[in-house]
């Protein structure tokens, strides 16, 4: 020891075995703690998947298939006058009868405005039927809102409603309409 330095003063710049061991323990503890936190974190948070309605083209295919399954040849629908000089486009119509189905998007609903009677909230999930005016007065139309046929299965494995579920609901609603039309012998 040079110039009267004590041993402890001379060793301040050099880590002792005890000091480096403490650093190793601290580093190892932090690594273990981080590993433990990651392992015990649980599943990643779930986010709501954006739902979307069935595409109109696909919906028309499902509707036409339901007509065929019920023994009713489908044909392209005709515009039907509702009121306020606004026309409702019927997507699929029975070939030899005066009834059909209109699958309406949000844009189409907005364009029709008050010409289309609102659905009665007291009726719950009941199907909405409307008739035309003038020469279309005998035409009965099942009005389906695209917002009733939503799905969210295109975005990973966790979802609330599948495309198949939405299509089956649409098919069921159309079949219910056709069963009623046949039972009541609509023109």
Token pair for residue 123? 């009726």
* Per-residue model confidence as pLDDT tens digits over 48-91: 557 788 999 999 999 999 999 999 999 998 899 998 889 999 99
pLDDT at residue 64 in the model: 97
Task: Indicate if the pLDDT at residue 181 is higher than 90.
Answer: yes
Alpha helical stretches, state H, the chain: 7-10, 17-39, 56-69, 106-112, 163-183
- Whose tokens are 């039309």? That residue is 181
pLDDT at residue 155 in the model: 55
Mean pLDDT of all residues belonging to the chain? 80
Q: Which long-range contacts (CB under 8 A, 24 or more apart) does 175-182 make?
A: 175/66, 175/69, 175/70, 176/127, 177/99, 177/101, 177/127, 177/129, 177/142, 178/66, 178/67, 178/70, 178/72, 178/94, 179/70, 181/94, 181/97, 181/99, 181/140, 182/70
CA distances from 88 to 30, 82, 92, 102, 135 (A): 68, 7, 12, 8, 14
More confident: 31 or 90? 90
pLDDT at residue 92 in the model: 97
* Per-residue model confidence as pLDDT tens digits over 94-146: 999 999 999 999 999 999 999 998 888 888 778 999 999 988 889 999 999 99
* Per-residue model confidence as pLDDT tens digits over 143-173: 999 999 988 765 555 556 778 889 999 999 9
Highest mean pLDDT among 19-23, 44-48, 54-58: 54-58
> What's the CA gap between 136 and 88, in Å, rounded?
11
pLDDT at residue 22 in the model: 47
């Amino acid at each position: 020891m040079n110039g009267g330095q004590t041993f402890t003063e001379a060793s301040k710049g050099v880590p002792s075995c005890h000091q480096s061991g403490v650093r190793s323990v601290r580093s190892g503890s932090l690594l273990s703690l981080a590993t433990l936190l990651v392992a015990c974190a649980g599943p990643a948070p779930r986010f709501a998947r954006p739902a979307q309605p069935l595409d109109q083209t696909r919906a028309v295919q499902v509707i036409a298939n339901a007509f065929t399954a019920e023994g009713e040849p489908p044909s392209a629908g005709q515009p039907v006058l509702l009121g306020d000089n606004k026309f409702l486009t019927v997507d699929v119509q029975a070939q030899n009868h005066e009834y059909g189905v209109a699958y309406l998007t949000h844009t189409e609903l907005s364009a029709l405005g008050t010409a289309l009677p609102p659905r009665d909230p007291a009726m719950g999930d009941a199907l909405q039927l409307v008739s035309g005016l003038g020469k279309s007065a005998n035409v009965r139309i099942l009005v389906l809102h695209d917002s009733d046929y939503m799905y969210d299965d295109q975005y990973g494995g966790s979802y609330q409603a599948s495309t198949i579920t939405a299509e089956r609901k649409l098919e069921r609603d159309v079949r219910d309409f056709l069963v009623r039309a046949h039972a009541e012998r609509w023109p």
